[in-house]
A and B are shown apart, each in its own frame.
Chain A
């Protein structure tokens, strides 16, 4: 239960990742712009967006694999890429790269050599559970096994912040489930913050409790899953002329993300700013997946309550 206690404490919200005005340009092309985010500690953050939205760039900047063109980024309170941050942040790159000629045991040894707090017994036990032979070269493991080895390396680092770039994109459903289970179990054990990127939203609800949606190199939506669920609803109301024409929505709606209208009824997916009292409209709750998909389909709509709040209230505690 210590992890639970730690988690409760974490929810008082020091920032695991804090970036301000962060931007990265490659040549003349911006890969990430104007990114101001404060991701609270102890969360599992899903970073969702289509390919090219800037997810990998964001994670690279937090890990210090890339240098920002503008702005700053702190990981667990330390400047990204510096010695302090390197000891506290773990990363698994897209397609989980490994040294093909290294055996699994060689990778573990490398982890020990390069990381002060490397949890070798845990890593060994983990790989033994998964029946991954330690003496086999990484190049001869299956894709799922390679992902597990790469994940084990990242998790055994005992980092405070764990960044995973498309951790399950190349995996079959069973390997996906295994990878996510290992990840979630480790999070339960260590209370670390996880940020993982994905271009698919399936099964998001199971694992993430904080959502960041990116589109066109910018952050479009960021917030705790519970807050977002509370702030959004699917509204079912009168259709056709009775709806009051195009663009009509009941009082209490801040923004309409999706709208389908027929003669019979109108269905909205909307962000609310207050209760919908109009008795003609029925309000139904939505899932994180619904919200993520709705924002991805409406890239012009932005909603990012948390960083502005924390900017106003300073430490945000």
Chain B
């Protein structure tokens, strides 16, 4: 069973952190179809966070088809989740392109933080109309 954690200073809303942890675990194969997720109460008892946040995270996972909620039994990783977990297969060329870009940035004299700032800004501009990225 997955064990959730929170990074308070990450700037990512708590519910989204939970969603991403499940996504990540599915991607890495740590969770597979049919695995049960802890109940809202059990997550709350460990993390000490608002149960509505956990419920919201589970609803979000449901709407992304990561999990199924079976009435009275609990929440389980959906059958298709492994396949449907977003762009689970990242096109190989993407990472290579980014690596090239980073090499060029370094050559141009940007340090790590400079590069991150440029990347963040572009990311933000590109996704700005899609809510919290």
Contacts and interface: CB of A to CB of B under 8 A. Distances in A.
Tell me, yes or no, whether A and B come into direct contact in the complex with CB atoms closer than 8 A.
yes
Interface of A: 1-5, 7-8, 42-44, 177, 180-181, 184-185, 187-189, 203, 205-209, 229, 275, 282-285, 287
B48 A184 contact: yes
Given A184-B45, A206-B50, 19 more contacts: A1-B39, A1-B73, A4-B55, A7-B52, A8-B55, A181-B44, A181-B47, A184-B49, A185-B41, A188-B40, A188-B41, A188-B44, A189-B41, A203-B8, A205-B8, A206-B47, A206-B48, A207-B48, A207-B50
Contacts of B34: none
Contacts of A7: 51-52, 55
Contacts of B125: 282
A188 B75 CA distance: 15
Interface in B46-86: 47-55, 58, 69, 71-75
B56 to A, nearest CB: 8
A188 B51 contact: yes
Most chain A beta-carbon neighbours within 10 Å: one of B47, B53, B73, B74: B53
Contacts of A44: 50-52
A3 B40 contact: yes
Interface string B19-56: 00000000000000000000111001101111111110
29 contacts: A3-B51, A5-B71, A42-B52, A44-B51, A44-B52, A180-B48, A181-B44, A181-B45, A181-B47, A184-B44, A184-B48, A184-B51, A185-B44, A185-B45, A188-B41, A188-B45, A188-B54, A205-B14, A206-B8, A206-B48, A206-B53, A207-B49, A209-B53, A275-B129, A282-B121, A282-B124, A282-B125, A283-B128, A285-B132
